Chains A and B, each alone.
Chain A
Amino acid sequence: MRTSPSIRCRRRTIPVISVLSFLALVLAACGGGTAGSKGSATSASITWWGWTPTTQVAAQYIQAFNKVYPHIHVTYKMLTIAGYNAALRPALASTVGPDVFDVAPGAANGSVETYAPDAVNLEPAIARALGSNWQSKLSPIGVSSMMSGGKLTGISVGAVYSGTVWVNKNLFDQYHLSPPASLTQWVSDCQTFKAHGVGCFVQGVGQTAFNEDTLQAISDDIQPGVWARAIQGQVPWTSPVVVRALTTWKSLFSDGIMEKGALGVQQYPDASNDFVSGKYAMVMMGTWYMQYSTPSGLSSAISAAGVGQPKNFTMLPIAFPDVAGAGHPGALYGDADYGLAVNSRSSHQAAATTFAVWLGTSTAGQQQVANALNDIASLKGVQPNWPNISLVSPGGQQPVLSKLISNAVLSSEPRLATVSPNLQLAIGVASTTVASGSATPAQAAATLQAAAAKMPHHGAV
């Protein structure tokens, strides 16, 4: 069939145009945008990615921030703990990542060490805000843990401490029980709860990072500080204290304290949901759980746990029971919870820095942090403004929470900040193999020691 020259010409032209268009698109995509502009410090739309705080608490921070900086619009995107690194790595490698993002000490999530190359050095900004002696005005744990290679990678928003068990006071009152102070009492309380069809103590042993909290509490109970020194490689994991801690950990399962099937439970959301929905009387959580002492915080958590008509109850932190009978209960250990880093590729660096500095160093911002009861404020001297904080049971909760905060800030024992991911994995394996009975405490300790010995710095960060 003959075709006219014009049709033949069109047939040749269309593919050429399509190829050129495609190449143009590819070149345009490869070119990307320039990230040279730092933007305005008082007007921009910025995004903030984090695994903490909750969206409700973040909204409170942003609302307070906008009273001072009304032209900086902050959009908070909360990611799961497990999915944070997976989402953040490619985002930071691109030009469309968040302007502000959470970083944390240690290597578990949002590691300061890992993301330091992608973050702006915030030291000049913080020095402008607080003066040359800025370090003296902040919690030391919030400064040292945010430094990487001499660079202030993030501004610490606050600290969290663990070593506490949270109890549902309503359930204890209902069955005329006292919170456990010893292993014997703990076992007895659990028998009573179970006899009434109520779960006793819940922990998501399947999410092994939280097992470290319980193991560190037990170890500190036996001999304070040994666990932290083992992380640093100063004490072998085969130390009798660690072996005894693992033995006691095992007894939590065999004595009926730990819920049945704990190895298949995740701390978040399973264990937390089980506790806030009233199915269990106790849960192993740290100071970050203070946020559920408020009526709105607790009812939101109960709703999120799938309860149709939330009914608030009084929850209180207690010292980890003296399970070893060694007379050293109640140790608290903590780290900077998270800091805000500014993306070095952001085109709104100035506005992002304004937000990070305001939340981490200003009295107004830190008061918001303290009042949210999610973190203990990083700026020295800032305490929760109790008269302005609504608690479920003010008379019962406020003195206990005040005491918890006072005790926590005195602690200098690190929690996860110095644990590398590989050591964390090895500790997790030790905890689950002992719990399941597939290794004795001594065997698990020996395996842990062998694994740590192969790691640089024995697994410490």
Chain B
Amino acid sequence: MTRTAADPAVRSSPKPGSRRAPAGRAAARTRRRGLRRSSGLPWILPAFIFVVGTVYYCIGYTGYISTLSWDGVSPTPQHVGLANYAQVFHDPVFWDTIRHTVVFFAVTFTVQTAIGFSFAALLHSKVRLPNLYKVIIFIPVVLAPATMAPIFRQIFSATGQFNTILEHIGLGALAQPWLAQSSTALPVIMAITVWEWTGVTFILYFAAMTQIEPEILEAARIDGASGVTALARIVWPAVRGTTIALGMLSVIGALKTFDVPYLVTTGGPNFATEFLGTFIYRVSIPQAEVGYGAALSIMLLILALGGALAFGLRGTRRS
């Protein structure tokens, strides 16, 4: 291939015998800058070692453990190759957790997005005491699930306050032991999650909406667009990046769900609220099948990465 003047290597080569040209001096400066830049490596090395040591090493080690039949403390684990992964695909509880995760993601993401987006839009309009509403919406985010779990167990128990309210408003026929039935336990877990995390969705949408030029909305109004039309045609597309980011976080969050189902229902009844997180814990700790738990963890990692990538690629294509 013939080199052209556009080639940086050609442009920076001084002619033989000539005095150093300005381009040559620039190249020398670049080389010096490059050398200086390389000296930055020691600065990032501690953080690099730390990240590799803690995160990637742990992932690799989990991958290694997933090839073992091991209780976590025995000095003689047995190598079983990919047998743990084969077991994953034949385990009905694993497929239950996947189904629960998909339903959980679809419902919580949709509801949180609808509520968070609506609240953010409402609080961008002229309302009294907006800061009070913001605090009220955001407070559940900062409350520890461990603190709230016993309260929710009480609220949704057969004799709990939720049923009492239903009875007092004439809906006593709907009262039931919400956490004791496979059909209602998962919706309760989703409701608690929506209550807990809608504040984050709201805050992110609220921040994203502040970036929309008021002139655009004003122009839409002048053109006769109603409030709903402006929200649907201007605001919603403008915050698409936030929605995609929230979608990615929701996918990962759904796959990692642990605290609420574990603390409120311990994954029951009859695995009705079992998620990958609670399943991994139960297999690894009470059942002491650490190798199988590690294989499930790797599956979780793959699913989380896949889900986040899918959302990211979808967002990129639309952009």
A residues in contact (CB < 8 Å) with B: 11-12, 15-16, 18-19, 22, 26, 82, 85-86, 89, 92-93, 107-108, 111, 114-115, 117-118, 199, 205-208, 259-266, 269-270, 421-422, 425, 429, 432-433, 436, 438
Contact of B270 among A93, A114, A115, A429 (CB under 8 A): A429
5 smallest CB-CB distances across A and B, nearest first, come from: A261-B177, A261-B158, A264-B179, A15-B42, A264-B180
In the complex, what residue of chain B is closest to A92 when comparing beta carbons? B73
Identify 15 new A-B residue pairs, CB closer than 8 A, beyond the known A18-B42, A264-B185. Answer: A82-B266, A86-B285, A111-B288, A199-B159, A206-B179, A206-B265, A261-B159, A261-B180, A264-B156, A264-B180, A264-B181, A266-B153, A266-B266, A432-B270, A436-B270
B142 CB–A CB distance under 8 Å: no
Determine the chain A residues whose CB is within 8 A of the CB of B72 once the complex forms.
89, 114
Query: Are B74 and A436 in touch, CB under 8 angstroms?
Result: no
Query: Are A19 and B73 in touch, CB under 8 angstroms?
Result: no
B39 CB–A CB distance under 8 Å: yes
In the complex, what residue of chain B is closest to A18 when comparing beta carbons? B46
B287 CB–A CB distance under 8 Å: yes
Contact of A264 among B71, B157, B285 (CB under 8 A): B157
* 19 A-B residue pairs with CB within 8 Å: A11-B39, A19-B42, A19-B46, A82-B266, A82-B286, A107-B288, A111-B288, A206-B265, A260-B159, A261-B158, A262-B180, A263-B180, A263-B268, A264-B180, A264-B181, A264-B185, A264-B268, A264-B269, A438-B270
**Nearest-Cβ distance from residue A19 to partner chain B, whole angstroms:** 5
Query: Are A114 and B71 in touch, CB under 8 angstroms?
Result: yes
A436 to B75, CA, bound (A): 41
Determine the chain B residues whose CB is within 8 A of the CB of A85 once the complex forms.
285-286, 288
Query: Are A265 and B180 in touch, CB under 8 angstroms?
Result: yes
Query: Are A432 and B268 in touch, CB under 8 angstroms?
Result: yes
Query: Are B268 and A206 in touch, CB under 8 angstroms?
Result: yes
B182 CB–A CB distance under 8 Å: yes
Contact with A along B167-188 (1 / 0, CB 8 A): 0000000000111111001000
B49 CB–A CB distance under 8 Å: yes
A64 to B178, CA, bound (A): 47
Query: Are A15 and B43 in touch, CB under 8 angstroms?
Result: yes
**Nearest-Cβ distance from residue A406 to partner chain B, whole angstroms:** 34
Interface size class of B (residues with CB under 8 A): 20 to 34
B219 CB–A CB distance under 8 Å: no
Query: Are B73 and A114 in touch, CB under 8 angstroms?
Result: yes
- Asked whether A263 and B177 contact (CB < 8 A) given A86-B285, A89-B72, A438-B270, the answer is yes
B5 CB–A CB distance under 8 Å: no
**Nearest-Cβ distance from residue A433 to partner chain B, whole angstroms:** 6
A199 to B156, CA, bound (A): 17
Query: Are A118 and B73 in touch, CB under 8 angstroms?
Result: yes
B6 CB–A CB distance under 8 Å: no
Query: Are B153 and A264 in touch, CB under 8 angstroms?
Result: yes
In the complex, what residue of chain B is closest to A83 when comparing beta carbons? B285
In the complex, what residue of chain A is closest to B160 when comparing beta carbons? A261
A26 to B177, CA, bound (A): 53
Query: Are A89 and B73 in touch, CB under 8 angstroms?
Result: yes
Name which of A12, A85, A107, A429 has the most chain B CB atoms within 10 A of its CB.
Answer: A85
**Nearest-Cβ distance from residue A105 to partner chain B, whole angstroms:** 15
B45 CB–A CB distance under 8 Å: yes
Query: Are B269 and A12 in touch, CB under 8 angstroms?
Result: no
Query: Are B181 and A117 in touch, CB under 8 angstroms?
Result: no
Query: Are B180 and A207 in touch, CB under 8 angstroms?
Result: no
A114 to B268, CA, bound (A): 26
Query: Are B266 and A22 in touch, CB under 8 angstroms?
Result: no
Which chain B residues in 30-47 approach chain A with CB under 8 Å?
A: 39, 42-43, 45-46
Query: Are B157 and A261 in touch, CB under 8 angstroms?
Result: yes
Contact of A436 among B265, B266, B269 (CB under 8 A): B269
- Asked whether A436 and B46 contact (CB < 8 A) given A85-B285, A261-B177, A264-B265, the answer is no
- Asked whether A263 and B71 contact (CB < 8 A) given A15-B43, A19-B42, A22-B46, the answer is no
**Nearest-Cβ distance from residue A151 to partner chain B, whole angstroms:** 14
Determine the chain A residues whose CB is within 8 A of the CB of B156 once the complex forms.
264
Contact with A along B282-315 (1 / 0, CB 8 A): 0001111000000000000000000000000000
A94 to B75, CA, bound (A): 15
Query: Are B181 and A263 in touch, CB under 8 angstroms?
Result: yes
Determine the chain B residues whose CB is within 8 A of the CB of A265 once the complex forms.
157, 180
**Nearest-Cβ distance from residue B44 to partner chain A, whole angstroms:** 9
Determine the chain B residues whose CB is within 8 A of the CB of A264 once the complex forms.
153, 156-158, 177-181, 185, 265, 268-269
A330 to B27, CA, bound (A): 94
Query: Are B74 and A117 in touch, CB under 8 angstroms?
Result: yes
A96 to B268, CA, bound (A): 35
- Asked whether A432 and B46 contact (CB < 8 A) given A261-B177, A263-B180, the answer is no
